[in-house]
Structure 1
Amino acid sequence: MDDTDGRDGGDGPHESGAPGPARRAMIVTGGSRGLGREVTLRLAAQGCDVAVCGRDTASLEAVAKEVHTEYGRTLYTERLDVTDDEALAAFVRSSAARLGRVDGLVTVAGGVRGADLRDTEPHDWDQTCRLNVTHPAIALREAADHLAGTGGSAVLVSSISGWKPAPPAQYAAAKAAQIHLAASLARELGPRGIRVNCVSPGSMLIEGKGWARLRDEEPRAYREFEKEFPDGRLVDPRDVAEVIAFLLSDGARAVNGANIPVDGGQNAPSAYGY
């Protein structure tokens, strides 16, 4: 599961470089670490200007520096809590104003609160839903007029847990809802020329995250988990970023309302079975 949740207080925006008038402009929530970072870098490599929000200033500054150094691209960043509806909406509006247009929206920020059913409180369900369902809906609501003007699209990042059941239940339920959200909004926004798709990554190997810790701390369990993948390896987040970039491109203009699994054929979404 992805724990890039975009939750923290705001430090205000930071901007590097200046946008070019002909460049495509993308907004990525949770775009400074893990999968979000790979999405940001992939879009910058394609020549896009990108606006990113994330959890902490250090990671935002690091990815901004990397984008500027490697690609000479604009990166507008803001530290905020994506469950703060007003702050999230303001971020989308300010990103559109600074970049001059919006061609794509990627909602990567997500996560889970609570544990097993007996150890989970009602507010854990509420927060998990806000992270994974409410936040993408608000971001897309604010971006919709801009996307309609550019013929743009949105990609919501769900999870293998959204269609291959595994605990914790609140995460699986929220990710399943996110898949349905994308399909429903594709029907609603399609007449305005906006495509909405969903990507469901499998278990990704990201240094410092859960599966990398399992590899280092419980190598036998990790080796067993690798057997859930036909090619014997967990998903590389760069491969997920490639699919997201494709869905945002004109090459995917006939793809709408879809959920695209990028899981390497993974079986169980957990190291401990279904």
Structure 2
Amino acid sequence: MSSKETVPQHPTDRPRVAIVTGGSRGIGRETVRRLAADGYAVVTVYAGHREPAEAAAKDITAAGGRAIAVQADIADEQQVAAVFDTAESEYGGIDVVVNAAGRMHLAPLVELDLAELDAMHRTNIRGTFVVAQQAARRLRGGGALITFSTSIVGLAAPAYGAYSASKGAVEALTLILARELRGRDITVNTVAPGPTATDLFLDGKDEETIARAAAQPPLERLGTPADIAEVVAFLASPAGHWVNGQCLRANGGII
């Protein structure tokens, strides 16, 4: 590196602030816990599960951290804007946005209820765009936007067509938005978990199906929310800031 070249310096004299959607359960809740452990003030966004979201915030504050829980439909631009307003008024700015909220419905294409398709696309596509739009407008320099896809986009398993299509749209956005934010010192990345032991994944599956999924990775187990939260924490941190415009398949080596 020449004497004229510089490495971006991220402010260290101010608290870092994160917004996490889908923060009441599963990967989102574990991400809230992990970022709080790293010293972030966290705004936990929930749609309908108020009690676990508020419990997560109370656990953090009881341990000496800073967290609040806010209700919002991530596909509603006014509600999402209000979440960002709250984060700025409570903590002074926003450094990290993690959009972990999502919806999944499984069915072969020929049997798919189109109302379920619309609901998935509203949350997984429109919701991602709404959150990303606010993040692009409001993240401070040195910040990060982290969205969620799924490794099923590559695995192409039957019955996952509609869900996979909604998450493929998220992947398509990632590098484009990273390039649109040129000059802002903001990264945009997507995490694509494999089979992970969350309610969203386990719901409706019998023990045989779960065992088959656990046997897929060379590591021979399901992922855990903590596995995925560690990836998110890295991407959110200054240490992960050179990773940009990528889709990281956190799946134990399935693909």
Q: Distance in 1 between matches of 2:65 and 2:32?
A: 11
Structure 1 position 100 matched with structure 2 position 92: yes
8 Å contact 1:186–1:195 — kept in the other structure? yes
Contact 2:95–2:143 at 8 Å: present in 1 too? yes
Match of residue 56 from structure 2: 63
Match in the other structure for 2:185: 193
Q: Which amino acid letter does the alignment assign opposite residue 158 of structure 1?
A: S
User: Among residues 148, 152, 174, which one is paired with 1:157 in the alignment?
Assistant: 148
Give, as a single letter, the amino acid of the residue that structure 2 aligns with 1:106: V
Gaps of at least 5 residues in structure 1 are: 1-20, 268-274
Displacement of 1:121 in angstroms is 3.5
TM-aligned CA deviation for residue 223 of structure 1: 2.8
- In structure 2, which of residues 115, 121, 125 is the aligned counterpart of residue 129 of structure 1? 121
1:144 and 2:136 matched: yes
Unmatched 5+ residue regions in structure 2?
1-12
Aligned length: 241
| Distance in 2 (alpha carbons) for counterparts of 1:172 and 1:182 | 16
Correspondence 1:260 to 2:248: yes
Number of the residue aligned with 1:219: 207
User: Residues of 2 paired with 1:213 and 1:122: CA distance?
Assistant: 20
Distance verdict in 2 for CA 1:126–1:53, change over 3 Å: same
How much does 1:143 deviate? Answer: 2.4
Query: How far is 1:32 from its partner?
Result: 1.5
Mapped contact 2:141–2:184 kept (Cα < 8 A): no
Structure 1 residues 131, 84: CA separation in 2 closer, same or farther (over 3 Å shift)?
Answer: same
1:88 corresponds to 2:62: no
What is the one-letter code of the residue matched to 2:131? Answer: A
Asked whether the equivalents of residues 161 and 176 of structure 1 are also in contact (C-alpha less than 8 Å), the reply is: no
SS at match of 1:131: helix
In the TM superposition, residue 140 of structure 1 has moved relative to its aligned partner by 2.1
Q: Tell me the secondary structure at the aligned position of residue 163 of structure 1.
A: helix
